[in-house]
Amino acid sequence: MAKKPAARKQVAKRPTPKASKGRPVGLFTWLAVGLVVVVVAALVIIKVTNSSATTSGSSSFQATDATTVSELTTIPATVFNTIGATSPVSPVTPPQSLAGQPALTAKDANGKTVPEVFYLGAEYCPFCAAQRWPTIIALSRFGTWSGLGNMSSSSIDVYPSTPTFTFVKAKYSSPYLVFKSVEIETNIYDSSTGSYGKLQTPTATEKALFDKYDTSTYIKGLSSSDNGSIPFMSIDNKFLVSGASYTPATLQSLSRTSIAQALQTTTSPVTEAIITSANYLTAAICSVTGEMPSNVCTSTGVLAAKKAMKL
């Protein structure tokens, strides 16, 4: 695990999100000029517990520019299909399937009951930062975004200042599903309180969902000491995500603009990780929307993800 800055040593003493034990993703190989480089990729997950800290600051909202939003939400089908479920440089962990649980549903704008995709994270969290990229991209294949904001993870945590977005003011519209999100804390750290500023509070129902499913009982490979890790996602309670699906190290030293602009470059390891993760999320969402829209759910890239996930 990466060494934490001194300011973060207080984290273990306070009942707010903190870095916890590493969670190995696995081994991957990178073939370059005939040389095989083997690297161990590890995901450090962030744990959430109840917090009584007062607000120590609030993030300054900056709307994401139209060009970047377009680069995120209008990726050509050829990119999804070419990459499929292939990310050899930065391994990707797909959503975990879940059976025998009550469906997670919500009413859409027309009062129709549809599947719900629920996300809980925080602006300071580098793993949330990584996960928002494929989440935005995957959901754009089912609906329309507005109100996305620019964000970077904490500058004093592991994988500092990971470029990303925030859902704090985001709105999402889809005929197939409802997306709900909670960003619990800002990326502004107050050393006097050992806290990040409180931002949004989950409803009692959302907290119960998080407390039940983001545990070692339902998440394979999660130790009980890591219960309550973020980012957390439930897709209709049929699929769960706990932690980032790829290491935030993939995005280090890159700008938000350069990452977005490269999303049409199928040979980029960064794009491979993000798009593979997006294809996995898309495959999971298709499974709860009745395989709609059909042009997305039957596309080559999504079919490759389904095969890899054994759906």
**Has residue 300 been placed in a domain?**
yes
pLDDT tens-digit profile of 184-224?
999 999 998 899 999 999 999 999 999 999 999 999 999 99
**Has residue 262 been placed in a domain?**
yes
Instruction: Kindly report the length of the chain.
Output: 311
Q: For the chain, what is the domain count?
A: 1
CB burial of 44-78 (b: ≥16 within 10 Å; e: otherwise) equals: bbbbbeebebeebbebeeeebeeebbebbbebeee
Instruction: Give the largest Cα separation in the chain, rounded.
Output: 58
**Has residue 255 been placed in a domain?**
yes
Pick from 40-54, 86-100, 295-309: least confident: 40-54
Q: Is the backbone peptide bond immediately before 15 cis, with ω within 30 degrees of 0?
A: no
pLDDT tens-digit profile of 90-122?
999 999 999 999 999 999 999 999 999 999 999
DSSP state of 248: G
User: Quick one: which of 228, 217, 193 has its CA closest to 50?
Assistant: 228
Residue 216 burial class via C-beta count within 10 angstroms: exposed 0-12, middle 13-18, buried 19 and up: middle
Asked if residue 46 lies in contact with residue 127, where contact means CB atoms within 8 angstroms, the answer is yes
**Domain housing 152:** 6-309
**Has residue 232 been placed in a domain?**
yes
What are the φ and ψ backbone dihedral angles of 280, each rounded to 5 degrees? -65, -45
pLDDT tens-digit profile of 132-152?
999 999 999 999 999 999 999
What pLDDT is recorded for position 48?
54
Average pLDDT, the chain: 85
**Has residue 80 been placed in a domain?**
yes
Residue 22 has pLDDT above 60, yes or no: no
- Cα separation, 281 vs 246, in Å, equals 13
What pLDDT is recorded for position 39?
28
Asked if residue 244 lies in contact with residue 266, where contact means CB atoms within 8 angstroms, the answer is no
**Has residue 1 been placed in a domain?**
no
